[in-house]
Amino acid sequence: MSTTNIDKLCVDTIRTLCMDAVQAANSGHPGTPMAMAPVVYCLWQRLLNYDPAEPRWANRDRFVLSAGHASTLLYSTLHLAGVKAVEPGHGNPGGLGVELDDLKHFRQLGSRCPGHPEYGFTAGVETTTGPLGNGAATSVGMAIASRWLAARFNQPGFALFDYSVYSLLGDGCMMEGIGAEAASLAGHLKLSNLCWIYDSNRITIEGNTSLAFSEDVATRFFGYGWNVTRVGDANDLPLLEKAFKTFKATTDRPTLIIVDSHIAWGAPNKQDTHGAHGEPLGEEEIKLAKRAYGWPENEKFLVPDGVREHFQQQLGARGAAARAAWNTVFAAYKKAHPELAASLESLLAGELPAGWESSLPVFAADPKGLATRESSGQVLNEVAKSVPWLIGGSADLAPSTKTRLTFKEAGDFASGNCGGRNLHFGVREHAMAAIVNGLTLSGLKAYGSGFMVFSDYARGAIRLSALMEIPAIHIFTHDSINVGEDGPTHQPVEHLAALRAIPHLLVIRPADANEVSEAWRVILRLKHQPVALILSRQALPTLDRTHYAPASGLAQGAYVLAEAPGGKPAVLLIGTGSEVPLCLEAYERLKAEGIPARVISMPSWELFERQPKAYQDSVLPPEAQARVAVEAGSPMGWHKYARCCGEVIAMNGFGASAPMKELRKKFGFTVERVIEAAKRQLAAH
């Protein structure tokens, strides 16, 4: 069979598998997969440095389907390429990550082909995509990681890291703000290892893009500092290959390849916009399409002889040779640079350097104390010296979030210094969180930071880090009305509740410097869970741990900080963060009045919920009915711990612009109010 014929056969196999999968599910998006099949085929077969037998190989090129609704395009390619399932959760280890049967059960329960690609569920999926623009922004994190790993580990004669990152986007990705944020930063950083492929089909759910989108995308990306090239016909394999080679030859900027396509056409030259989003083509339209391809009209999920073999002869053979060569280089590298090699092996295994915990500081008792953002900055700088791949930054707020690494070796990541560990994301919260996801997916310990009220802007990417179960670190400071004069626009109220509502996100709000240190002990040990670390702007007393319980109790999520005489409390005072000192002062005054109280520091609901019931009951005894919970945020969820009859001192509206002390008095975060609530509880129970 001629090269042209086998190429066409492979492309049409991808197309028909996509059509058949969507039709079998009676759900999905056939248009983009059919239109972009030649593009993905050309990239994977002719350019991608990727070994299907080891889809986790460290120096593999990454392909991110930002247009996640076109998931059948990726699944069909993974199947035909023979991408192996290499670990539990990715199918049957040793078999294919995507079996033909999975495609036949697209969007059905248990299939490895869900509606949108899910990381950790399907082998070969580099990141979870679907919310438009997030995949593209995550790919920027992956490209930064490639540059950072090269700067950190490559040595003369040992080019361990030089991988490229590709992402396929649609018009929706171009419209979403996160896409613009990420593209702007990528251009600024001159990430020449990043290639975005823009499927310019001029169709969205509502119809033609002319309804709401008329900008010149090429000019926009020129303005971002990108190299821009165009392929006028998505079916032109030679021109596509030339465009990809132009990207590989570009060394001073990222590349955007604009590919013009017609979406979801069945009969030749027939445009079918309904196939773009959410509707199968229908049996008759599929037959027309297959007839146009010269395909057996009544065959479903047909993979002709020679297609899988062709993928193995090109992609498979090229990838196997590249990985084997890399393994040979790494074996020699281990002998020449044993310490760097050991560090890299720890990074790739998700482990931490031996002895890193000894760098966690212990803070002396101090009534004046520190803001937890300040103590966190100190802890971060100490542990970062022991964990060389801990990197991150802020959305233009490092002086306020205290997340800058200040030791001499840290440096700033920039186009001319890719080994720097301080990232400057600019005022781009959503892109920042997605880029942190991309860095984390690349094996780094990565963090992003901002004011807590702006967690709203980053929420989409934070949710994806939780869905992917990756240990991304999201740091938020200025955590309550205590922000003061900046007023309600900058005072978070509902944000703690909103973050706690995200499944599998660990939220930690420490009460003093030593709880902060213990929080970082928990955070850096995480392997399969992201965290939101919530920190104060104002100083909080550093508690005397010879008088109160040790801060190590943070690891259990909640612990008895101050106990009633004889361990028999009449009332429970439960607090988090800046409200714990209020509870302690109330406790001391109640004790002076002969009223036995117990103070519970509860920095993390999620950690507490995973403790055995016996431990939970030892902290919150079921028989202890008199309870007061105190938190300068929404009361939502607190009655689970305060009980239905307990009292919750919280915010029931927005804050105001005034000095902090006035606000605390106005909204009732005072020792007097805690004592009054405790006495009401005692009277009621």
pLDDT at 89: 67
Cα of first residue to Cα of last residue in the chain, in angstroms, is 86
List, in order, residues 6 or more apart from 433 with CB less than 8 Å away.
448, 458, 460, 461, 462, 465, 472, 474
429 is catalytic: yes
Say if residues 464 and 134 touch (Cβ distance below 8 Å).
yes
> How many residues comprise the chain?
685
CB-based contact 427:458 (threshold 8 Å): no
State whether 508 and 606 are in the same domain: no
Residue 1 has pLDDT above 70, yes or no: no
* Residue 269 scores a pLDDT above 60: no
Which range of residues forms the domain containing residue 482? 356-541
Residues 36 and 136 in one domain: yes
Residues 84/182, Cβ–Cβ less than 8 Å: no
> Which pLDDT score, from 0 to 100, does residue 273 have?
38
pTM of this structure: 0.96
Determine which helix (DSSP H) or strand (DSSP E) holds 384, and give its type and residue range: helix 372-386
Q: Using one digit for the tens of pLDDT, what is the confidence trace for 578-630?
A: 999 999 999 999 999 999 999 999 999 999 999 999 999 999 999 999 999 99
Q: Which two tokens stand for residue 1?
A: 């069979």
Question: Which CATH number covers residue 149?
Answer: 3.40.50.970
CA 497 to the chain's CA centroid: 20
C-beta atoms surrounding 417 within 10 Å: 12
- Looking at residue 209, its pLDDT comes to 76
Lookup: tokens for 558 = 């909640």
DSSP calls for 106-140: TTSTT-S--SS--TTTSTT--S---STTHHHHHHH
Look at residue 356 and tell me whether its pLDDT is greater than 70: yes
Residue 538 has a pLDDT of 97
- Do 575 and 501 lie in a common domain? no
281 and 377 together in one domain: no
Query: Which pLDDT value is given to residue 213?
Result: 81
pLDDT at position 20 is: 97
Domain check: are 496 and 643 in the same one?
A: no
The answer to whether position 551 is within a domain reads no
Number of H helices, E strands in the chain: 25, 20
Comparing CA positions, the residue from 179, 236, 209 lying closest to residue 36 is: 236
Over residues 405-418, the mean pLDDT reads: 96
Confidence (pLDDT) at 207: 77
Q: What is the pLDDT of residue 652?
A: 96
Q: What digits encode the pLDDT tens for the residues 290-332?
A: 999 999 999 999 999 999 999 999 999 999 999 999 999 999 9
> Tens digit of pLDDT for each residue in 133-178?
999 999 999 999 999 999 999 999 999 999 999 999 999 999 999 9
What is the number of structural domains in the chain?
3
DSSP string, 604-643: -HHHHHTS-HHHHHHHS-TT---EEEE-SS--TTTHHHH-
Residue 91 pLDDT grade (very low, low, confident, very high; cuts 50, 70, 90): low
Identify the domain boundary among 296, 322, 348. 322
The DSSP bridge partners found for residue 81 are none
User: Are residues 536 and 591 both part of a single domain?
Assistant: no
Confidence of residue 265 (pLDDT cuts 50, 70, 90): very low
Q: Are both 599 and 643 inside the same structural domain? A: yes
Q: Quick one: which of 574, 471, 484, 563 has its CA closest to 526?
A: 471
Contact 516, 378 (CB under 8 A): no
Distance between CA 192 and CA 275 in Å, rounded? Answer: 34
For the cut 90, the answer to whether the pLDDT of residue 3 exceeds it is no
In a domain, 668, yes or no: yes
SS3 355: coil
Q: What is the mean pLDDT of residues 649-660?
A: 97
Q: Is 259 in the same domain as 383? A: no
Question: Which of 194-208, 222-236, 481-495, 501-515 shows the lowest per-residue confidence on average (mean pLDDT)?
Answer: 194-208
CA atoms within 13 A on the CB side of 672: 5
One of 181, 285, 374, 429 is an active-site residue; which one?
A: 429
Q: What is the rounded average pLDDT of the residues 474-485?
A: 97
Domain presence at residue 617: yes
**Helix or strand (DSSP H, E) at 239:** helix 237-249
- Pinpoint the alpha helices (H) of 165-236: 171-175, 177-189, 217-224
Residue 327 lies in a domain: no
Indicate whether 92 and 178 sit together in one domain: yes
* 343 part of a folded domain: no
* 271 pLDDT higher than 70: no
SS3 for 292? Answer: helix
Does residue 68 lie in a domain region?
yes
* CATH code at position 616: 3.40.50.920
Residue whose structure tokens are 């309870």: 627
Mean of per-residue pLDDT scores for the chain? 95
pLDDT at 276: 44
Q: Are 394 and 558 in contact (CB under 8 A)?
A: no
Predicted confidence band at 35 (pLDDT cuts at 50, 70, 90)? very high
Tell me which DSSP letter residue 309 carries: H
Range of lowest pLDDT (102-116, 202-216, 271-285)? 271-285
- What element of type H or E holds 540? strand 539-542
Task: Clarify whether residues 603 and 498 are in a common domain.
Answer: no
Query: Would 348 be classed as within a structural domain?
Result: no
Check whether residue 475 and residue 449 sit in a common domain: yes
Domain assignment of residue 335, yes or no: no
Burial class (CB in 10 A: 0-12, 13-18, 19+), 659: exposed
From residue 411, give the alpha-carbon distance in Å to each of 31, 88, 377, 425. Answer: 46, 39, 16, 15
20 and 109 belong to one structural domain? yes
Q: Specify the pLDDT at position 263.
A: 60
Q: What is the pLDDT of residue 204?
A: 73
pLDDT at 278 over 60: no
Q: What whole-number distance in Å separates Cα of residue 682 and Cα of residue 685?
A: 5
Last residue of a domain, one of 514, 541, 568: 541
pLDDT level of residue 267 (50, 70, 90 thresholds)? very low
Token digits of residue 204: 């969205």
Tell me the C-alpha distance between 22 and 275, whole Å. 10
Confidence check: pLDDT of 224 > 90: yes
pLDDT at 274 over 50: no
Count the neighbouring beta carbons within 10 Å of the beta carbon of residue 69: 24
